[in-house]
Structure 1
Amino acid sequence: MPELTFTTRWPDGRSLQTYSPSLVVHDHLQAGASYEVADFVDRATTALTQASDRVEARWGRPCTAARASMDTIRLAAADQPEGLVTVVAFDPPAHPFTGSAS
């Protein structure tokens, strides 16, 4: 199952690297885009839930790393509920034509 990490910059200037067990995150977030904190949390949580569900469908149990990523994002958002979160980069990056990883 392809996986990725994505790097975000939070309103206080710190960077956060987040793991996803699936490329589905590309369907919800764009590199270079900025989102209000609440919108980012909603998008990231939706994406990581879908990623965990894909792991569960394949392996019979949800992905605890995706759940941990959601917890990390929620904690960061609780510390700074206002402002913009910028998606700095994906690794691997999205394919420029399809939006999915190449």
Structure 2
Amino acid sequence: MPAMHFHLRWPDGSVTRCYSPSLVIKDYFQPGRGYPLPQFMDQVREALNIASERVRAKFGFACSAAMDQLADLERQAQRFDATKDTAQVQVLSFDE
């Protein structure tokens, strides 16, 4: 199963390198594009859950690394709760 990393820029300018056990992230995001924070979080939840389920289908167990990544993204997004209606997350790049 091809894993990948993707890089994000948060509204405060910080950059995060993220993991996905599947290339499904590419179906949800485009490098160089910004997404409103609520939309980004909805899409990344769906994508990482699909990625984890693909691991389950292949190996018989969900991907804990995908769920850990999602939990980390949820924590980071909480930093912007006060401005979530205007905050943007930019997807910088994909590494396969």
Which residue of the partner structure matches residue 80 of structure 1?
A: 80
Q: Does 1:89 align with 2:60?
A: no
Q: Alpha carbon RMSD of aligned pairs, Å?
A: 0.7
Give the counterpart letter for 1:91 in structure 2: D
Partner Cα separation in structure 1 for residue 26 and residue 6 of structure 2: 10
Aligned to 1:23: 23
C-alpha distance in 2 between matches for 1:59 and 1:31: 30
Aligned partner of 1:57 in structure 2 is 57
Match of 1:43 in 2: 43
What letter corresponds to residue 11 of structure 2 in structure 1?
P
Query: What runs of 5+ residues in structure 1 fail to find an aligned partner?
Result: 93-102
TM-score, normalised relative to structure 2: 0.93
> Kindly, what percent of the aligned residue pairs are identical?
39
1:70 maps to which residue?
70
User: Structure 2 regions of 5+ residues with no counterpart?
Assistant: none
Runs of 4+ in 1 over 3 A off after TM superposition: none
Q: SS where residue 23 of structure 1 aligns?
A: coil
SS at match of 1:54: helix
| Distance in 2 (alpha carbons) for counterparts of 1:71 and 1:30 | 22
State the one-letter code of the partner of 1:84. Q
Q: 1:90 aligns to what SS in structure 2? A: strand
Q: How many residues align?
A: 92
